[in-house]
Amino acid sequence: MKNPNEPDSPVLELMGGRGTLYNIIHKEENNRRFRVLKEEIFNNDKIVVRLFEDCVNNQELRKKDTSDQCRFPALTLSLSTTEFLYINRYMALPDEFYLSLLTYYRVAETINHHLLNWISDKENAEKWFLKNFKTITKKTDNLKKQLETIEFKKTT
């Protein structure tokens, strides 16, 4: 009380504020999470491209009456990191980014839904995927561009 400008506890002073140990640890944690988010989205994109190729090949095989050689997806898209960031918003990113992230999440959930239906209704699942492939890649590319332009140091 005699010195109101002096910190009460050196420990508390170290734990809070810019440049403190807490801030450095928090920044590193967010940096790791952001890298994992990028990995998730870029890996999902590879799966989507492979799905598209399989759909095109499967259609050709059916035309040749060799549908027994068709390939079927064994993977669904991973969304846990995307969902975690959208729900918790642990980084100070623009609303536009979070809107793109939500759009991407909804598209990816829809893809997973169709992948699960692929077993019982292959041809319709493939038709849906081929019909929507350009829209899917457009929305994914939009988010990927935003991910590449984010300077993480400014967001923590």
pLDDT tens digit string along 77-118? Answer: 999 999 999 999 988 888 999 999 999 999 999 999 999 988
User: Sorting pLDDT into bands at 50, 70 and 90, what band is 25?
Assistant: confident
User: Sorting pLDDT into bands at 50, 70 and 90, what band is 31?
Assistant: confident
Place of tokens 């910190």: 7
pTM for this prediction: 0.78
**Choice between 130 and 90, residue whose per-residue pLDDT is larger:** 130
Span 1-13, mean pLDDT?
62
Q: Are the beta carbons of 37 and 79 closer than 8 angstroms?
A: no
Q: Give the C-alpha separation, 30 to 36, whole Å.
A: 10
Q: Tens of pLDDT along 33-80?
A: 889 999 999 999 999 999 999 999 998 998 899 888 888 888 899 999
In the prediction, which pLDDT does 130 show? 94
Q: Chain-wide mean pLDDT for the chain?
A: 85
The yes-or-no verdict on residue 122 having pLDDT over 60 is yes
CB atoms within 10 A of CB 155: 16
Could you tell me the two tokens for 7? Answer: 């910190």
With 0-12 CB in 10 A as exposed, 13-18 as middle and 19+ as buried, what is 103? middle
User: Sorting pLDDT into bands at 50, 70 and 90, what band is 155?
Assistant: very low
In the prediction, which pLDDT does 1 show? 62
Degrees, nearest 5: CA angle 72-137-73: 10
